[in-house]
C-alpha cells in the first residue's frame, strides 16, 4: 500500500473531512451544533479547518441513546456494538457494510505491517459479542488470509492446548490475560514453541510488561490502540520499530489538545488525543475527545509511515480499564443507588492478582437496613454483585461495611485506589 505524505495526504484528509462534516449534518445533534458554530461543509478547505468544529464528548453520544447519532437509515446498519458509558446506558455504535470493510482493512494493514501473512495461524483470545476486539480482529485476520481460531476468553488450559496442537503463530489478547496464559503454560510444562507474535491491547501496559511477556511467551509483542467510537481496535498500531503507534492518517484526522483549555498542542507536548474519523458512514464523529493522554512523537519513523503517537500515558477522566473493559466510578454509583439496602458511600480497590486485574468494592450498608444478621448481609451482597455484573459485564468482589465507616471528603471524593502499579 502506498503511504501518502505531505500535500497529497493533506489534500485527501481535507476532502474526506469535508465529506465527514456533510455526513455528520444528517445527525440532528451535529446539524444543530454546526449551525450554531456557523460552519458548512464548503467551509472546510484544509485540514486546519477542523479547528472550526466544536468537540464531541462521550456524554454527547450517551445523550443520543440508542440511535440518535446514526447518519444512515437503520436498514443500512448491518451491525451494532456497544461500549461502556458513565451511567447505566452504553454508547451504541453502528456500522454499514462499507464501515465493516474499512475496519477489517485497518486490521489487515496492521497485521501485514508487522509481517503476518496467510501462512500464519491466529488465535483471537478476546471477548466476542458486543466488545469490538473480537470480531474486529477476526475479520481483519481473515482478510489477510490467516487461519483464524476464534477462541475468545477463558478455559486457559484449552487455549494453551490449541496453541500447541494447532501450531498457533500469533495471538491477540489483553496483556493481563497473556500473562495468565504464560503462567499457566509454565505450570503445564509447555514453552508454546510455535508462538512468535503477540498483539496486546484494550488496557494500558508498560514496557516492563512487554519485556516480561516476550520472555515468558517467546513472542515479539506489539501494542494496539482503538475504541469502539473509532470503529474499534486498529486505529493505531506499532510497526516493527515498536517506538510509538502509527495512526492511519487516511482514515483519521488526529489532534493533541490541552484537556483543560482545548488548545491544540504541538508535537512533543503531552495532552488529550482528539480524533475525527474520515470515512465512517453510519456514525460520523467530529473532533471526538478520547480522554486518552499521549503526544505526537517528533522524530520520523524509519519505517516511513509518518507521524506516530506515544504509548498511552493515562486518562483525562476517571475511567478505569479492567481486563479490557471500560469502567467508570459513576457507573458503579448508578448501580449502587438502585440497591436500597446500601448507602451512597463506596470505595473501589483495583489490584493485579496473578497478572489479572481484580476489582473489589467496599460499600456501606444503609443504616435502616443494617441489622447485623448474616443472612441479610449475604442476600444484599449477592444482590449487589449480580447488579454490578449485569451493568459492567465484569466480575467484582463486594465487601459490605458498616454505615459511616468509609472516609468522607470535603472536596472531590476519592472513589478509586488503584494498587496495580506501573511495573506489570
pLDDT per residue as tens, the chain (424 positions): 567 778 899 999 999 999 999 999 999 999 999 999 999 999 999 999 999 999 999 999 999 999 999 999 999 999 999 986 555 678 999 999 999 999 999 999 999 999 999 999 999 999 998 989 999 999 999 999 999 999 999 899 999 999 999 999 999 998 888 988 998 999 999 999 999 999 999 887 888 789 989 999 999 999 999 999 999 999 999 999 999 999 999 999 999 999 989 999 999 999 999 999 999 999 999 999 999 989 999 898 999 998 899 998 777 777 888 988 888 887 888 888 788 888 878 899 999 888 889 999 999 988 777 666 778 788 899 999 999 999 888 889 999 998 889 887 644 567 899 988 654 4
Nearest to 357 by CA among 348, 366, 365: 348
List Cβ neighbours of 55 (8 Å cut-off, separation of 6 or more): 262, 274, 286, 287, 288, 289
pLDDT at 424: 45
Q: Is residue 87 part of a domain?
A: no
Q: Is residue 399 part of a domain?
A: yes
pLDDT at 5: 74
Kindly tell me the burial class for residue 365, based on how many C-beta atoms sit within 10 Å of its own C-beta (0-12, 13-18, 19 or more): buried
Q: Is residue 119 part of a domain?
A: no
DSSP annotation of 265 reads P
pLDDT at 209: 83
Q: Is residue 394 part of a domain?
A: yes
Across 8-30, b (16+ Cβ under 10 Å) vs e yields: eebeebbebbbbbbbbbbebebb
Domain count, the chain: 1
Q: Is residue 403 part of a domain?
A: yes
List Cβ neighbours of 334 (8 Å cut-off, separation of 6 or more): 87, 88, 391
Q: Is residue 332 part of a domain?
A: yes
pLDDT at 325: 87
pLDDT at 217: 97
Domain of residue 330, residue span: 325-418
Report the half-sphere exposure of 42 (CA within 13 A, side-chain side).
0
Q: Is residue 408 part of a domain?
A: yes
Nearest to 414 by CA among 335, 323, 322, 350: 350
From residue 105, give the alpha-carbon distance in Å to each of 14, 113, 217.
21, 12, 28
Beta carbons of 103 and 349 less than 8 angstroms apart: no
pLDDT at 410: 43
pLDDT at 423: 47
CA distance 185 to 233: 27
C-alpha cell recorded at residue 219:
513472542
Grid cell 489477510 in the structure block, residue: 144
First vs last Cα of the chain: how many Å apart? 36
Report the half-sphere exposure of 75 (CA within 13 A, side-chain side).
0
Kindly tell me the burial class for residue 402, based on how many C-beta atoms sit within 10 Å of its own C-beta (0-12, 13-18, 19 or more): exposed
List Cβ neighbours of 119 (8 Å cut-off, separation of 6 or more): none
C-alpha cell recorded at residue 160:
494453551
Q: Is residue 385 part of a domain?
A: yes
Beta carbons of 248 and 16 less than 8 angstroms apart: no
Q: What is the dihedral of CA 259, 265, 268, 274, to 10 degrees?
A: 60
CATH code assigned at 370:
3.30.300.30
List Cβ neighbours of 144 (8 Å cut-off, separation of 6 or more): 108, 111, 112, 116, 117, 118, 120
> Kindly report the CA angle at 76 between 72 and 77, in degrees rounded to 5?
90
In terms of residues, how long is the chain? Answer: 424
Amino acid at each position: 500500500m502506498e503511504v501518502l505524505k505531505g500535500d497529497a495526504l493533506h489534500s485527501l484528509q481535507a476532502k474526506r473531512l469535508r465529506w465527514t462534516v456533510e455526513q455528520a449534518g444528517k445527525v440532528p445533534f451535529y446539524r444543530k451544533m454546526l449551525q450554531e458554530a456557523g460552519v458548512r461543509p464548503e467551509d472546510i478547505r484544509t485540514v486546519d479547518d477542523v479547528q472550526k468544529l466544536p468537540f464531541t464528548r462521550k456524554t454527547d453520544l450517551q445523550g443520543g441513546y440508542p440511535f440518535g447519532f446514526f447518519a444512515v437509515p437503520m436498514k443500512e446498519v448491518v451491525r451494532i456494538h456497544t461500549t461502556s458509558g458513565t451511567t447505566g446506558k452504553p454508547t451504541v455504535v453502528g456500522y454499514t457494510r462499507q464501515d465493516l470493510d474499512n475496519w477489517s482493512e485497518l486490521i489487515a494493514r496492521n497485521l501485514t505491517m508487522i509481517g503476518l501473512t496467510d501462512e500464519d495461524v491466529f488465535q483471537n483470545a478476546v471477548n466476542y459479542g458486543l466488545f469490538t476486539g473480537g470480531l474486529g480482529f477476526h475479520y481483519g485476520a481473515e482478510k489477510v488470509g490467516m487461519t483464524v481460531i476464534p477462541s475468545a476468553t477463558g478455559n486457559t488450559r484449552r487455549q494453551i492446548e490449541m496453541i500447541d496442537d494447532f501450531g498457533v503463530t500469533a495471538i491477540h489478547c489483553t496483556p493481563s490475560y497473556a500473562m495468565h496464559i504464560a503462567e499457566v503454560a509454565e505450570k503445564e510444562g509447555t514453552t508454546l514453541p510455535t508462538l512468535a507474535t503477540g498483539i496486546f491491547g484494550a488496557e494500558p501496559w508498560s514496557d516492563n510488561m512487554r519485556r516480561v511477556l516476550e520472555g515468558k511467551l517467546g513472542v515479539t509483542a506489539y501494542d494496539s490502540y482503538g475504541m469502539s467510537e473509532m470503529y474499534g481496535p486498529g486505529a493505531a498500531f506499532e510497526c516493527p520499530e515498536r517506538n510509538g503507534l502509527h495512526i492511519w492518517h487516511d482514515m483519521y484526522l488526529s489532534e493533541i489538545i490541552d484537556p483543560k483549555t482545548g488548545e491544540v498542542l504541538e508535537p512533543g507536548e503531552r495532552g488529550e488525543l482528539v480524533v475525527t474519523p474520515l470515512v465512517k458512514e453510519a456514525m460520523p464523529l467530529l473532533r471526538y475527545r478520547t480522554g486518552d493522554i499521549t503526544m505526537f512523537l517528533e522524530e520520523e519513523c524509519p519505517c516511513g509511515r509518518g507521524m506516530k503517537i506515544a504509548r498511552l500515558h493515562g486518562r483525562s477522566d476517571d475511567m478505569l480499564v479492567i481486563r479490557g473493559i471500560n469502567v467508570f466510578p459513576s457507573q458503579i454509583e448508578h448501580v449502587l443507588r438502585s440497591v436500597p439496602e446500601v448507602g451512597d458511600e463506596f470505595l473501589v480497590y483495583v489490584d493485579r492478582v496473578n497478572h489479572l486485574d481484580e476489582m473489589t468494592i467496599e460499600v456501606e450498608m444503609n443504616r435502616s437496613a443494617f441489622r447485623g444478621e448474616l443472612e441479610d448481609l449475604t442476600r444484599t451482597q449477592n444482590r449487589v454483585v449480580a447488579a454490578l455484573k449485569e451493568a459492567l459485564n465484569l466480575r467484582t468482589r463486594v465487601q459490605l461495611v458498616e454505615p459511616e465507616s468509609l472516609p468522607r471528603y470535603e472536596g472531590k471524593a476519592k472513589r478509586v485506589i488503584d494498587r496495580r502499579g506501573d511495573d506489570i
